[in-house]
Structure 1
Amino acid sequence: MPDHSLFRLRILPWCIALAMSGSYSSVWAEDDIQFDSRFLELKGDTKIDLKRFSSQGYVEPGKYNLQVQLNKQPLAEEHDIYWYAGEDDASKTYACLTPELVAQFGLKEDVAKNLQWSHDGKCLKPGQLEGMEIKADLSQSALVISLPQAYLEYTWPDWDPPSRWDDGISGIIADYSITAQTRHEENGGDDSNEISGNGTVGVNLGPWRVRADWQTDYQHTRSNDDDDEFSGDDTQKKWEWSRYYAWRALPSLKAKLALGEDYLNSDIFDGFNYVGGSVSTDDQMLPPNLRGYAPDISGVAHTTAKVTVSQMGRVIYETQVPAGPFRIQDLGDSISGTLHVRIEEQNGQVQEYDISTASMPYLTRPGQVRYKVMMGRPQEWGHHVEGGFFSGAEASWGIANGWSLYGGALGDKNYQSAALGIGRDLSTFGAVAFDVTHSHTKLDKDTAYGKGSLDGNSFRVSYSKDFDQLNSRVTFAGYRFSEENFMTMSEYLDASDSEMVRTGNDKEMYTATYNQNFRDAGVSVYLNYTRHTYWDREEQTNYNIMLSHYFNMGSIRNMSVSLTGYRYEYDNRADKGMYISLSMPWGDNSTVSYNGNYGSGTDSSQVGYFSRVDDATHYQLNVGTSDKHTSVDGYYSHDGSLAQVDLSANYHEGQYTSAGLSLQGGATLTAQGGALHRTQNMGGTRLLIDADGVADVPVEGNGAAVYTNMFGKAVVSDVNNYYRNQAYIDLNKLPENAEATQSVVQATLTEGAIGYRKFAVISGQKAMAVLRLQDGSHPPFGAEVKNDNQQTVGLVDDDGNVYLAGVKPGEHMSVFWSGVAHCDINLPDPLPADLFNGLLLPCQHKGNVAPVVPDDIKPVIQEQTQQVTPGNPPVSISANQ
């Protein structure tokens, strides 16, 4: 069957304009032109008014649905653009830029407030902004606008100004992460089964996000040792709602209002849990190069392991990782403070350590202020408040020439803390900041922290720098020194609890994170280093260093060798070791490798095979020895439309057999529909896709494709806040009888939003038909055929022929020209076997739909439509006639 395309017929009317005026059409006319109409191959006495093509750039007055591009960046959705004739010269036409459209340009405030409008305030008056150019790219159905950057707010690739941010639609969400593990001991011991999970449920109401976090754990242990006095079954269950909270964006302030239970995320003070409210400048709303630092967690798993990241008892991230080094880099830059990392191995071993997230220098652009104001009551685990009412504030003011002054205060009636600092943007040399914090604490009773009034200072210096030209980056380097009597708010709250035992009085802290890539040498280096010293106990040092080298050996290309050294210390126990890996390609999407892990009493070596099946699926198999015993393990991962699925299985000779399952997904429901989906960030931003009811449409965002469900809905969850996100249909994987007339959408969404975008997708068979009016004539050239969903499914040529897409038995369609529906057609039911044999479709005046033609006379009518009427000789036409 021939490959017919609806796109070819859609573009026919534009081909005339392109032949006359080139790719672009300016908004005003220039020189008149003449042309010969013979290339149109008009039939009979067909007449077409070509006057609109006589002036270069002329666009006939009317409404056009166009994609608006501002400085080569498309706006989120298509817009209805009205073109009107000039008041003094009707041969010139102008695009009507409405106030709603201009608001999305991101003009500076002083520019926007001085704009003048015409047509009763509905259209931007032309010629106001010097250097502004507006062109119609008819071949792409686009309105191309060029505007000098001097008129615009601060811009950055893939970042949009607040005028383009979208709060999304109202709806309900429910996200989850579930991990299940089972373990059987070979030589007695305990068999265990565990299911743990965490998630978020919530509601979106306009700009408001209401959320509740939960976490659960179920453990069942059965002893296999008959001599064990504690033999038997033991079951432990836990379910708790860990946090209730709500927030909304304040775009005009570039700030966020948060209410409920929260963790104090401060650029100056140490954090703690509290219940109350805050208003703070949201770094996510700033251009990317002005944002803060996102935590980076690295470690080494000896076997397939469950990694849990928590803060003050609340689980914020949980995942399953295969054996070897891992890095978690998708926690988001809104997380700060001390994080607790727990690695539970399949062999029963547990690694635990704390990491202190780095804080970038608290700098602000000249003339601007970043701030945070918070108040409430401190809270311990289980929603119980402790201590009295507190309040606090901090701010950073960009003075001038790269200097920033910052400071803040925090406290209640018995604790006060104040800080003052200064930062400097060193341009090509990075950024540096120094601050000092003073605390005053009053303890009424004798505690592990002391008694009476305690005063102390803490000094901090931090540095950050990107070396783009060297392909390296010092993400953060810092040093902090605290006097013995200095106390944080969290330490003060612990001291107020007479049963609390002090675990360490901080003295010094060194932190550094470093990346460097030597492209020419094929070498990359990663370092994460933290060192704590204390006034009352021994120091603690954690580090992770990775060295990788990529090289070719003869005909074998893209080989790699990597070496990882690590040390993690927690609760007076250190886990340290070394991991080495050598890998080489095996086919197009596979590698074979040798992996060795040495240290902490566990030595292992394995030969592994890794294969990437497609963009969504990969698996890994390993065979080797561990502690002189044979070991076999496998790992499988699939990014599905409904959930992210990870499977693992492990066998260690004479020791244990284990298996694990991890599911991460969610559900989103709105008035526009809903879908089950995978998810990355619990309770986070997502984009609901509507494919006009067509199922199995592949939609891609930043990750693997998701497929629309039976209702034509899908959710893209890998969406960034305040970034310009793009989702598109993979046209190569569309169902056989589906066509997409619009395959790309964009959205810039506020935090936690449920965005909604609709693709123009037509589903059904394809047919070549002939339209005839009651008087035997046919609709005019360029008339549109639309279905009941107002989708254009075909364009009429100059002889009444039309190629139809999305054809269904008995379907009703309407034929439009001059913007009005003139007549209706009905498709036969059932459809004929050969849909490309000139199917005749009578087109009755609106409201008088012709009955379906009986099957026995269809072949006769179709035969009649094969006759060709000779056309009149071509004539030469002047556009000025």
Structure 2
Amino acid sequence: MKKIMDNYINKPSINLFIAGVLFASFNISANDYYPANLLNIEGSTQQVTNEDLNVFRENNIAPGHYTVTLFVNNNRIETREFDFILMEDKNNNKILAPRLSAEEWYKAGIDLPYDVINKSKNNDFINLNEINNANGYLDLNRKQYVLTLPQLYVNEDRLKENEIKNWDSGIPALLVSYALSSFNSRSQGNTTDSYYGNIQTQINLGPWRFNNYSTWTKNENGDKKWNTLSNVISRAITRINSELMIGDLYSSSQLFDSVKFRGIKLVTDRLMTPTQNRTYAPSVSGIANTESIVTITQNGQVIYKRSVPAGPFNITDYYPMNSGGDLYVSVTEADGSEKSFIVPFSSIANLERKGELKYSFSTGKYDGNNSGDGAYIIQTEAFYGLTDYVTLYGGILVGEKYQSVGVGTGVNLGSYGAITTDLLYAKSSTNNGNDPLHGNAFKVNYSKNISITDTTLSLVGYRHFDVNFLNFTQAMEHKDRKYYPSNGLKNEYTLSIN
């Protein structure tokens, strides 16, 4: 028996046959098979076939119509029903993606590469899987389709337009807040009580808002009094990123002294601009030799990081620290090499980003609790970011027998701080019938951040060149009596160290 087995094992042909069988057993593969009859529904005439289930080999969601919210690089675009189909990527994998045309992707804020557009059939739909580093996934639990792709293909301006389309005015609401205080006093056997209360009410209806602020007092003698301090109706005007207010208001105080009046006010509303654009900051520009990572550090903290394609870049969508401090920028190339540079940065009130415009317009009747009450006034101010480092601004204030004009400039001096200078001229004819008063005033505001000690230094010097310079409130106070220059404010200085 042993001899027979030896002869059998030693035959070369038999050995090759066994090896071939073993090799084949380790290389046999097959696609997944889904028993279609497991999904047959009792009583249904529709027969499910195995071909219907093949889509689940690479995706856990079947193609079809789904109502979801579309996000592009974490920016909400719109919520509606999309037709999702399987599209091949560069590795021939079928991935679920929305069926959208080039025009629809354009409206979503995406600038498509020409080669991707040319591959589309009759512009019926675009396969974003053709774009390098583009990734999208459908999340039915959250009802979202999230798409991420290189910043090169995303248009920031059109993304902002999509944000505006998603704004809403909120639900109708009534909000009430109040405070009530009581005071008890005892003296020589006598007891007196007094009370004070205030109530603030807001009514929201569509885009309109109504705000009331009233107080109530009851003194020791039992006299009661309601006093309405202000009534204001307001609404947002989204087309011009502004807010319209009507009622008891205060004018802007950035260039002129603030004035209380009853009338209309139209101002720029920074809440309608992206968060990173609400404060002043210079743009960060440079050149990347390859696809690179740009990192911005301020006061030892990383405040911005972003991938940029090869070529020139200009970054404005970052949010600096309000305390100031130079910006340290590093550009890390694809091969790991790094280059760095510094963007000088100091901030101060009245500075605006390059190309940004902010304005305020007020008109109505003066309400200052003096003899000038009822005088009609018009005040307007405008601030414009001329460059990354220079802001120009100016304004006018016109009232009954009073005219004033002001101009100013703000400059980011980088490592040396920031400074604003204002020049005001005023003419007042309210000097109780006497000769008109003409005067000029000059104001300097300087701010410097010292990063080593984390200290902010602010110096405000307000000098009146002429004793005949009057602001509007002073002019109204002397409407019915003579103004004596010796009583006027000559110089005022304020120093602040934090």
Q: Please indicate the TM-score interval, normalised by the length of the shorter structure.
A: 0.5 to 0.7
Mapped to 1, the partners of 2:245 and 2:129 lie a distance apart of 41
Identify the residue that residue 19 of structure 2 maps to in structure 1. Answer: none
Identify the residue that residue 179 of structure 1 maps to in structure 2. Answer: 180
Identical positions, percent: 23
Structure richer in helix, relative to its length? 2
User: In structure 2, which of residues 152, 156, 166 is the aligned counterpart of residue 153 of structure 1?
Assistant: 156
Mapped to 2, the partners of 1:288 and 1:495 lie a distance apart of 45
**Aligned CA distance change for structure 1 residues 256 and 128 (closer, same or farther; 3 Å):** farther
Structure 2 counterpart of 1:62, which letter?
Answer: G
* Contact 1:438-1:456 at 8 Å conserved across structures: yes
**Aligned CA distance change for structure 1 residues 477 and 77 (closer, same or farther; 3 Å):** farther
* Contact 1:58-1:91 at 8 Å conserved across structures: no
User: In structure 2, which of residues 476, 479, 482 is the aligned counterpart of residue 493 of structure 1?
Assistant: 476
1:370-416 CA-partner distances (Å, limit 9, x unpaired): 2223322222459x983543323221222224211111111135111
Mapped to 1, the partners of 2:103 and 2:232 lie a distance apart of 33
Identify the residue that residue 230 of structure 2 maps to in structure 1. Answer: 243
Mapped to 1, the partners of 2:455 and 2:156 lie a distance apart of 28
Identify the residue that residue 379 of structure 2 maps to in structure 1. Answer: 392
**Aligned CA distance change for structure 1 residues 77 and 287 (closer, same or farther; 3 Å):** closer
Mapped to 2, the partners of 1:497 and 1:33 lie a distance apart of 102
Mapped to 2, the partners of 1:79 and 1:183 lie a distance apart of 63
Query: Which one has the largest radius of gyration?
Result: 2
1:94-131 CA-partner distances (Å, limit 9, x unpaired): 315699997996x49x99xxxx9xx9xx9985559976
Identify the residue that residue 273 of structure 1 maps to in structure 2. Answer: 260
Structure 2 counterpart of 1:264, which letter?
Answer: S
Residue pairs, 1:108-127, within 5 angstroms: 125-127=126-128
Q: Measure how far apart 1:199 and its partner are.
A: 0.9
Mapped to 2, the partners of 1:466 and 1:155 lie a distance apart of 36
**Aligned CA distance change for structure 1 residues 400 and 212 (closer, same or farther; 3 Å):** closer
Residue pairs, 1:509-548, within 5 angstroms: 509-511=492-494, 514-515=497-498
Identify the residue that residue 73 of structure 2 maps to in structure 1. Answer: 71
Mapped to 1, the partners of 2:164 and 2:487 lie a distance apart of 45
**Aligned CA distance change for structure 1 residues 235 and 472 (closer, same or farther; 3 Å):** farther
Structure 1 counterpart of 2:31, which letter?
Answer: Q
* Contact 1:173-1:201 at 8 Å conserved across structures: yes
Mapped to 2, the partners of 1:251 and 1:243 lie a distance apart of 25
Q: Does 1:474 align with 2:456?
A: yes
* Contact 2:251-2:379 at 8 Å conserved across structures: no
* Contact 1:59-1:83 at 8 Å conserved across structures: no
Identify the residue that residue 377 of structure 1 maps to in structure 2. Answer: 365
Mapped to 2, the partners of 1:128 and 1:494 lie a distance apart of 72
Structure 2 counterpart of 1:365, which letter?
Answer: R
User: In structure 2, which of residues 431, 434, 441 is the aligned counterpart of residue 458 of structure 1?
Assistant: 441
Mapped to 2, the partners of 1:129 and 1:485 lie a distance apart of 73
Residue pairs, 1:498-647, within 5 angstroms: 498=481, 505-511=488-494, 514-515=497-498
Residue pairs, 1:276-355, within 5 angstroms: 276-288=263-275, 291=278
Gaps of 5+ in 2: 1-28, 43-47, 281-346
Q: Give aligned pairs, total.
A: 380
Identify the residue that residue 193 of structure 2 maps to in structure 1. Answer: 192
Q: Measure how far apart 1:423 and its partner are.
A: 1.0
Residue pairs, 1:706-721, within 5 angstroms: none
* Contact 1:441-1:455 at 8 Å conserved across structures: yes
Identify the residue that residue 31 of structure 2 maps to in structure 1. Answer: 34
Identify the residue that residue 207 of structure 2 maps to in structure 1. Answer: 207
Identify the residue that residue 165 of structure 1 maps to in structure 2. Answer: 167
Mapped to 1, the partners of 2:34 and 2:474 lie a distance apart of 86
Identify the residue that residue 3 of structure 2 maps to in structure 1. Answer: none
Mapped to 2, the partners of 1:499 and 1:371 lie a distance apart of 35
Q: Measure how far apart 1:163 and its partner are.
A: 4.3
Identify the residue that residue 240 of structure 2 maps to in structure 1. Answer: 253
* Contact 1:83-1:96 at 8 Å conserved across structures: yes
**Aligned CA distance change for structure 1 residues 427 and 251 (closer, same or farther; 3 Å):** farther
Tell me the secondary structure at the aligned position of residue 443 of structure 1. coil
Structure richer in strand, relative to its length? 1
Give the TM-score normalised by the residue count of structure 1. Answer: 0.37
User: In structure 1, which of residues 409, 422, 432 is the aligned counterpart of residue 396 of structure 2?
Assistant: 409
Q: Measure how far apart 1:268 and its partner are.
A: 0.6
Gaps of 5+ in 1: 1-31, 222-233, 294-358, 516-881
Structure 1 counterpart of 2:395, which letter?
Answer: G
